[in-house]
Structure 1
């Protein structure tokens, strides 16, 4: 090889080495280059889509129908909490009934039941009130004895006369005055008058009294009262007082006790003895204000005060009668009450 060629060969060796080094550097650079941008963007988009799908699934579980496309109302118009919800959209689950909807439905049902119960209770209360009024009227009408005189007699009557009675100046011995109870605050009892001494009755009067038969039944107490009532009806007031006093003392718990005490007061009042009559009327009223003849006794107590010219006490008794027994004052004893009111001027 010539010197020139040798020199040229030596010059080309570095060039080859430099080319090889350049190729090696290029290969290393290519090996260390990142993934292409398009491939990287595709992977991120797939992850994002997966996350969005999972969020939508979670929203459908937590908020049914709340994915933005529609929203189900809890109560539709024209319904009472039980409206039918429309079909869920495609890809979403059916909305479930919430707790608020259930509470509203139950409240509506409770309100309807409460309204029905209230209406039924009002109807029953009205029916019960009507029954009580009818029962009170029946009891008032049933308290009148079979052999009683007319209810609308004047409060103070003149002494009755019968064909078989011969007037006599003397009567039977006076009856022991009854024990006076504590008077009511509004109607004080008058002071009892001492009994006057009397002589024995005439033979004709005794015969007339004996002509009145005494009942003989299984109820001895009722027989005693009925006999006193017959004597009073015949106008034998002293004999009636004696008989009725025996009944009141021997049968204080009899069903006719209110009748007996009231009739005993009538036997005094009809014999022009208003002071003694007032004692028995007041005692009968105070003993049992719900008694069969308690209203009559209170009314005749006012009549006794009128006969004694005691206007103040008469007005008190009449006012208490009208306030305590309004049905009787406008019914069974209306005539007697109006007659007594006409005799006095009450403020």
Structure 2
């Protein structure tokens, strides 16, 4: 009995330890299984027990925008580089702005100096009449020749000198018509002044008529008579401009033919016989009925003063 009790006691002593060891082992195995399961979830295909190596043997380290992954970038980041470049651009922009302002200031000074030089050294006016082309009797060509012979510049009105008391009284003695047609009255008054020999007063009156009534039925008469008021007062240069202007404005006007003929007379007064011949040739070709009718005598007398080829 003692022996049996001893054996039983010996056999009964390690039983709790074995049971405890078995439970801990099971718990450890369970934890390891759970960790491996978690590892497979987080690091699928893991090697090296828990983690997959980032760089496998014989391969190049992956990079991101030129930087090796896992390597700490240098202290100078992209943001720092951008700020440095922005500072440089701002400095360049300030320099360019300063240069632009300096150049604008220099340009303004140069323009001021140039304007002063042009005013101080203005070129002399060109001659009133350029060299004429050869005579062209082919209709439109000859008309162009006459236009080129004398520039179509509107003459500036000549100021009238202060008249004497006697002249003023004589001018006031010439009455102005009152017909109800204001334009016709202005022209008729200018004609009366011209006919009385008061050429400066007539020019002033006729200039007012031409400017105020450019569409009046008497406008061709007015421009032609204004040229006559210059020519009769020994001012052929200004007269020629008005005669040509009247002819160019309307070569079918009532006094266009007269203006072309008196343009030739103005050229003769200026001792420019070649241009006078151009005007006479154009007059004869354009107005043959007038040249042989109403103005036949004046045409012949004018033609006798020149020798045309």
TM-score by length of 1: 0.46
Considering Cα pairs closer than 8 Å and 6+ residues apart, tell me whether 1 or 2 has the greater RCO. 1
Aligned partners of 1:197 and 1:255: how far apart in 2?
A: 27
Tell me by how many angstroms 1:189 deviates: 1.6
> Are positions 1:189 and 2:150 aligned together?
yes
The equivalent position to 1:209 in structure 2, one of 171, 176, 193, is 171
Alignment check: 8 A CA contact 2:152 2:244 kept: no
> What are the residue-to-residue correspondences of 1:114-153 with 2, within 5 Å?
none
1:198 Cα deviation (Å)?
A: 6.7
Deviation at 1:197, TM superposition (A): 7.5
In structure 2, the residue matched to 1:232 is 194
Instruction: Give, in whole Å, the separation in 1 of the partners of 2:159 and 2:178.
Output: 33
Per the alignment, residue 228 of structure 2 pairs with: 266
Which structure 1 residue ranges, 5 or more long, are not aligned? Answer: 1-179
Displacement after TM superposition at 1:281 (Å)? 0.2
Note the C-alpha offset of 1:279: 0.3
Q: Deviations over 1:165-203 (max 9, x none)?
A: xxxxxxxxxxxxxxx9xx963122259899888741111
1:71 corresponds in structure 2 to: none
1:307 aligns with 2:269: yes
Q: Is the 8 A contact 2:160 2:200 kept in 1?
A: no
Distance 1:196 1:289, change over 3 A: closer
For the 8 Å contact 2:157–2:204, the answer to whether it is kept is no
User: Counterpart of 1:69?
Assistant: none
Which SS does the other structure have where 2:145 is aligned? coil
Query: How has the CA–CA distance of structure 1 residues 198 and 287 changed in structure 2, closer, same or farther, with 3 Å as cutoff?
Result: closer
Give, in angstroms, the shift of residue 329 of structure 1.
0.1
Cα deviations across residues 85-120 of structure 1 (Å, max 9, x unaligned)? xxxxxxxxxxxxxxxxxxxxxxxxxxxxxxxxxxxx
Q: How does 1:279-294 map to 2 (within 5 A)?
A: 279-294=241-256
CA contact (8 A) 1:229 1:240 kept: yes
Mapping for residues 155-174 of structure 1, pairs under 5 Å: none
Q: Distance in 1 between matches of 2:207 and 2:215?
A: 14
Q: 1:295 aligns with which of 244, 251, 257?
A: 257
Comparing 292-301 with 183-192, greater Cα deviation is found at 183-192
1-structure distance, mates of 2:199, 2:186: 15
Deviations 1:134-179 (A, max 9, x none): xxxxxxxxxxxxxxxxxxxxxxxxxxxxxxxxxxxxxxxxxxxxxx
1:245 aligns with 2:207: yes
2: CA distance between counterparts of 1:344 and 1:278?
Answer: 17
- CA-based RMSD of the aligned residues comes to 2.3
Shift in CA distance, 284/231, structure 1 to aligned 2, threshold 3 Å: same
Partner of 1:220: 182
* Residues 264 and 280 in structure 2, CA contact (< 8 A), matched pair in contact too: yes
The structure carrying a bigger helix percent of its residues is 2
Matched with 1:342 is 304
How many aligned positions are there? 166
Alignment CA distance shift 1:194-1:250 (3 Å):
closer
Distance 2:157 2:216 in 1: 28
1:82 aligned partner = none
Task: Tell me if the contact between 2:187 and 2:206 (Cα under 8 Å) persists in the aligned partners.
Answer: yes
Q: Distance in 1 between matches of 2:207 and 2:158?
A: 18
1:254 correspondence with 2:213: no
Whole-angstrom CA distance in 2 between matches of 1:261 and 1:291: 11
Give the distance between the partners of 1:197 and 1:249, measured in 2 at CA: 16
| 2:283 corresponding residue in structure 1 | 321
CA contact (8 A) 2:160 2:201 kept: no
CA deviations on 1:283-315 (whole Å, 9 max, x unpaired) are 000000100000000000000000000011000
Give the structure-2-normalised TM-score. Answer: 0.51
The alignment partner of 1:321 has SS state of helix
Per-residue deviation, residues 25-70 of structure 1 (Å, max 9, x unmatched): xxxxxxxxxxxxxxxxxxxxxxxxxxxxxxxxxxxxxxxxxxxxxx
> 2:156, 2:189 → 1: CA distance?
27
